[in-house]
């Protein structure tokens, strides 16, 4: 459940208790996007005080939104309107400062459990590492785009191609990739995710042709998460096969209160099974992807290792890249407060 601007009184805090009882055990807050999604420190603190008592989780988009907004307006005033400036106006220090601040708020609130979403750079990762070293219940994820793409290699192209990579946090310099992989290996970060938020390039990203702030913010990625994590992680010797399973399946289930129903192959669990072919080669391209968008941020990437079959609750739902399940068979999963 996302917590946004909830007005001058605190009656919403009672809703937090009710939602946890209904199986909604994690809450998302934004420190970015002023006047849209961003909440102030007082709201974050009040939420953390309540979740600390309940054992629920606070998920944080960490960027200093008010400062970034000033930098963005200054860039536009200087005539810097192209999509590259989306990345240039969101520096790593603005992310790291927000992570540092949310750690402090968590500590003041009595050690509220916090999960930093889409950690994109070494500076932010080190803030998470420092908090964990002090024994605070701080966790985090990074995303495939930050592990395999970089600002200098993917952006700076002529024309409007850079708009395909307008997501937040933006791409960082390549030097951040190795520390993020190491953080996944060392359990400083627990999950590899995607922040999947797709748009079409032809008629949606182009809304910001003359102003990068009008480019829909987000990118497609969920379809290629396992492929990229396996190929660039396991095949490259950065992580073990066991750690690959942990950061893609077991850890998310545990962190978000779904274990042991999900995240383990065991008697009494849901028999959610992925049969993985480590020898399967695949070239990522928009022409063959299942995601309903007209581009891929990983266009042309060749990976070795791919899903052969997927079973949900013991039923085959994906076979050789084709969906063979039944629409509407999903069930609401009542999530518990996780033991962390």
Domain-embedded: residue 237: yes
**pLDDT at site 19:** 96
Residue owning tokens 């492929």: 227
Domain-embedded: residue 226: yes
Please state, for a pLDDT cut of 90, what percent of the chain lies above it.
96
Residue 245's CB is within 10 A of a number of other CB atoms, namely 19
Length of the chain: 340
Q: Of 166, 178, 179, nearest to 85 (Cα)?
A: 166
**pLDDT at site 338:** 77
pLDDT for 17-57, tens place per residue?
A: 999 999 999 999 999 999 999 999 999 999 999 999 999 99
pLDDT for 75-108, tens place per residue?
A: 999 999 999 999 999 999 999 999 999 999 999 9
Residue 303's CB is within 10 A of a number of other CB atoms, namely 21
Domain-embedded: residue 16: yes
pLDDT for 211-264, tens place per residue?
A: 999 999 999 999 999 999 999 999 999 999 999 999 999 999 999 999 999 999
Residue 12's CB is within 10 A of a number of other CB atoms, namely 15
Domain-embedded: residue 315: no
pLDDT level of residue 340 (50, 70, 90 thresholds): low
pLDDT for 317-327, tens place per residue?
A: 999 999 999 99
- Domain containing residue 143: 12-266
CA dist 336 to 15, 95, 153, 191, Å? 16, 30, 42, 19
Domain-embedded: residue 163: yes
Q: 3-state class of 39 per DSSP? A: coil
- CATH number at 91 reads 3.20.20.140
Domain-embedded: residue 278: no
**pLDDT at site 9:** 78
At residue 44, φ and ψ (nearest 5 deg) are -60, -45
Domain-embedded: residue 38: yes
Whether 292 has a pLDDT exceeding 70, the answer reads yes
Whether 339 has a pLDDT exceeding 70, the answer reads no
Domain count, the chain: 1
Q: Of 244, 266, 267, 263, nearest to 333 (Cα)?
A: 263
Domain-embedded: residue 296: no
Q: What is the mean pLDDT of the chain?
A: 96
Q: 3-state class of 303 per DSSP? A: strand
Q: 3-state class of 28 per DSSP? A: strand
């Amino acid at each position: 459940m996302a917590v946004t601007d909830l007005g001058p009184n605190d009656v919403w805090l009672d809703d937090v208790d009710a939602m946890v009882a209904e199986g909604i055990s994690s809450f998302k807050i934004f420190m970015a996007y002023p006047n849209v999604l961003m909440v102030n420190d007082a709201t974050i603190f009040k939420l953390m005080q309540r979740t600390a008592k309940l054992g629920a989780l606070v998920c944080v988009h960490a960027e200093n939104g008010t400062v970034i907004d000033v930098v963005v307006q200054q860039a536009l005033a200087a005539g810097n309107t192209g999509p590259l400036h989306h990345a240039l106006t969101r520096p790593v220090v603005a992310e790291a400062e927000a992570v540092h601040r949310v750690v402090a708020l968590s500590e003041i609130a009595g050690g509220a459990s916090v999960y930093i979403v889409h950690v994109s750079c070494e500076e932010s990762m080190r803030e998470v590492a420092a908090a964990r070293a002090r024994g605070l219940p701080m966790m985090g994820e990074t995303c495939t785009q930050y592990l395999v793409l970089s600002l200098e290699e993917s952006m700076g192209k002529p024309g409007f191609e850079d708009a395909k990579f307008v997501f937040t946090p933006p791409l960082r310099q390549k030097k951040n990739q190795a520390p993020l992989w190491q953080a996944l290996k060392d359990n400083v970060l627990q999950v590899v995710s995607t922040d999947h938020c797709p748009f079409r390039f032809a008629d949606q990203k182009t809304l910001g042709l003359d102003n990068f702030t009008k480019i829909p913010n987000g990118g497609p990625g969920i379809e290629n998460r396992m492929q990229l994590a396996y190929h660039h992680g396991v095949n490259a010797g950065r992580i073990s096969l066991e750690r690959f399973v942990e950061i893609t399946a077991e850890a998310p289930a545990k962190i978000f209160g779904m274990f042991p129903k999900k995240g383990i192959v065991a008697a009494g669990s849901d028999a959610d099974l992925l049969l993985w072919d480590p020898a399967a080669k695949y070239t990522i391209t928009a022409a063959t992807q299942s995601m309903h968008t007209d581009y891929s941020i990983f266009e042309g990437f060749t990976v070795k290792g791919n899903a052969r079959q997927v079973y949900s609750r013991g039923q085959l739902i994906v076979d050789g890249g084709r969906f063979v399940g039944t629409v509407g068979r999903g069930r609401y999963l009542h999530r518990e407060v996780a033991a962390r």
